[in-house]
Amino acid sequence: MAVHDATPTHNVPLDFNFEDFDPQTLDDALGLPYYYSSSSCLTLSITDSNSDSDSAGQSQSSSAELSTNSSDDNTSTTTSSLSSLTDSVNSNDGMDMDLDLGSDEDAQEDDSWDADIEDWDETISQPVTERQCCPLRAYAHSRYVQDEIQKLYSQCYQEPCNKFPRGPAFLPHILHTLKHERPDHFRQELRITPFTFDRLVSHIVDDHIFHNKSQNEQIPVEDQLAIMLYHFGHFGNAAGLDKVAKWSGYAKGTVLLASRRVLTALLCDRFILETIRPPTQAEKEQAKHWVEKHSCRAWQDGWCMVDGTLVGLYQRPYWYGESYFDCKCNYSLNIQVVSMPNLRIIDIGYGFTGSTHDASAWQKTRIYSEKERYLEGNEFIWADSAYPIEEWLVAPYKKPERDEPQNEVFNNHLSMIHIRSEHAIGFLKGRFQSLKDLRILIRNAETHKLATYWVLACVAVHSFAMEIEAEERGLSSADEDDPFIVEGLSSDPDSDDDEHGLRSGQRRKDGSQWTQVARAQRESLKAKLFQAIGYDSSEDEE
């Protein structure tokens, strides 16, 4: 039986132990240099005991010498052929062995190499330069085989599957350069000032969502918050997952995890109640002063206003999609915003689909059910014509009453106050423009909650930023100079036209849409306004 090993391969026996093998031991025992020629090949021939006696004697002598050297140094071989050779020598079962070294160009046997063991010893004792063609150098193949196999197994799981190079991330430049050198550019990217960013980090860094027992640490909270703020502040293609991943330098999965963690931290009760809250007495007095300055003293009790807005969805929801279809032929969410003249939001109604009318959504807000917590004495709220008037809610005249000259003057002055609610909504959408085109696909009730919580988190961070920026700014400038207001305002306001009004069947529970008390309240306010501005209604009657 003949076993041929023409070239070094990676076919290693399953029971071979790399840790116990030292090829240098075999090289030292045989006196061979660490030398390998790609043109050489090793041929091991194991013949039966009935073969020629001369060759058998030669083989047994060489085998005995080889076995002695191997056992003294506790060596092992690297190929199955050499393992069989060692087993044959140690067993001494009467089999003879011939060793022959040839080449790819000339594979014929050379009789000159049929020397006895003494000739081999003499050849081995020669210097390396004089024995480059020594036939026993074939045993140096063991070292090469081991190196190649170790190289193979050391790289098979470390080569990346995707070698496409990733571009440089812009997020480190924002947090480490623009934050200190160009705060205006930092605010344009993350929609809040650096000072507000640091304060917001300190508010959420202790949340349990950012701490786990895993050996893999989370990315810094600053990076996670920056990713979420970038999500909040952009819409369309700029807010796509692939775009945010390239912008931040993190993988898409990391971006999603960071967004959910920050969203969870922002929705904690403590943060929501601190940011969306009733005004203090001092804030209420400032709002009353602004209303008196822009109308008359009798109107100062109307220090807040309510308005509805639509948060557009980039795609028709799969979950009851027709209920999200609004009056502007888009798919959206309806939110109710209660704000003050300084544009600060004090209450928010969320969770309504785009088809929900403002009058219906308004009745589900907190300020509607807990008005005693917000309003004192004769205080009331300004609204537009989409809302039914109440004793504590004043709305403009509708058709056909609005066509009368007196009512038109009243409506104009009311609009000059109520326009601040449009500015407040524009400020919110200008800062966090994801509310213009929310890229959340609503598939079920859970994704609907995610969309509404997204809106709530935007409102909370916006209110927080307004307070911190006012503290940072002092009296240097006012909120109405903020460029985000202009970015948020659009030529097509979200407020409903007067023609929409209340839908059929939407009436007060007592059966009276225009109560006598509410109408008397509005007529009294109109008379006091005309008295303050010196308007003579008798001239219109003539």
* 253-295 pLDDT per residue, tens: 999 999 999 999 999 999 999 999 999 999 999 999 999 999 9
Q: Are 456 and 272 in contact (CB under 8 A)?
A: yes
> Torsions phi, psi of 333, nearest 5?
-115, 145
Q: How far apart are alpha carbons 223 and 259 in whole angstroms?
A: 10
CB atoms within 10 A of CB 194: 18
Q: How far apart are alpha carbons 513 and 502 in whole angstroms?
A: 9
pLDDT in tens, 37-50: 333 333 333 334 44
Order of strands across the sheet that contains 40-47 = 2-5, 40-47, 96-103
Nearest alpha-carbon partner for 493 in 342, 348, 327: 327
Q: How confident is the model at residue 475 (pLDDT cuts 50, 70, 90)?
A: low
Beta bridge pairs of residue 103: 40
Nearest alpha-carbon partner for 460 in 203, 261, 180: 203
User: What is the length of the chain?
Assistant: 542
Contact partners, residue 357, CB within 8 Å, separation at least 6: 386, 496, 500, 502, 503, 506
Q: How far apart are alpha carbons 386 and 396 in whole angstroms?
A: 9
> Torsions phi, psi of 448, nearest 5?
-65, -40
Q: How far apart are alpha carbons 225 and 179 in whole angstroms?
A: 14
- Extract the tokens encoding 298: 């009798």
pLDDT in tens, 105-157: 444 444 444 444 444 444 444 444 444 444 445 556 677 788 888 777 776 65
Signed CA dihedral, 56, 57, 62, 63: sign only: positive
- Extract the tokens encoding 32: 């061979």
Q: Is 198 exposed, middle or buried (0-12, 13-18, 19+ CB in 10 A)?
A: middle
Mean pLDDT computed over 5-14: 40
Please tell me whether residue 348 adopts helix, strand or coil conformation: strand
Nearest alpha-carbon partner for 245 in 235, 266, 231: 231
Instruction: Choose from 52-61, 116-125, 346-355 the range with maximum mean pLDDT.
Output: 346-355
- Chain-centroid distance of CA 182 in Å reads 25
Q: How far apart are alpha carbons 169 and 29 in whole angstroms?
A: 57
The helix (run of H) or strand (run of E) holding residue 243 is helix 241-248
pTM (two decimals): 0.68
